[in-house]
Homo-oligomer: A and B are copies of this chain.
Amino acid sequence: MPTKNARPEFGPSSATVRRLAKLLEETGLTEIEYQDGTRRLKVARGTLAAPAAAAPAAAPAARAVEAVPAASEGPPAGAVTSPMVGTCYLSPEPGAPAFVKVGDKVREGQTLVIVEAMKVMNPIRSPRGGTVASIAVENGAPVEYGEVLLVVE
């Protein structure tokens, strides 16, 4: 029964919690924290059998480049990840159109993006034929090893 108070019930919606719990399961994550302005929601699941990893929660250290969970948890299906640290470019040169955009059909071996490392331009080629489902990085963004660049399904 919904509460009838003037002030609405304080607490997250059950549906949202259920949805996030499912996502935890699906992704193998142990925690999801979400904040939007002053609203914040966090769900967590300790490892059920193993002891809850008492990870030192580095007190105030905010990270500019966040460690990518994908690196340790495995990237999503169809993901094309960066084989190196560098800077990712979506087009062959400034001002030129992007190599690919979402919805494009791509062939195996087709260049998707370029990662520049040590002043060398490394074309990142599609490992399979398919459709570009999403592009995860922005033009000129720094990328780390294992970071998801785009998804080809």
Contacts and interface: CB of A to CB of B under 8 A. Distances in A.
Size class of A's contact patch?
Answer: 35 or more
Nearest to A7: B8
A52 B47 contact: yes
A24 B29 contact: yes
A48 interface: yes
A33 B40 CA distance: 8
B10 A21 contact: no
Nearest to A36: B39
Nearest to A54: B51
Contacts of A42: 31-34, 42
Contacts of A43: 27, 29, 31-33
Contact of A11 (B11, B20, B47): B20
A9 B13 contact: yes
Interface in A7-27: 9-27
B44 A29 contact: yes
Interface of A: 3, 9-49, 51-52, 54
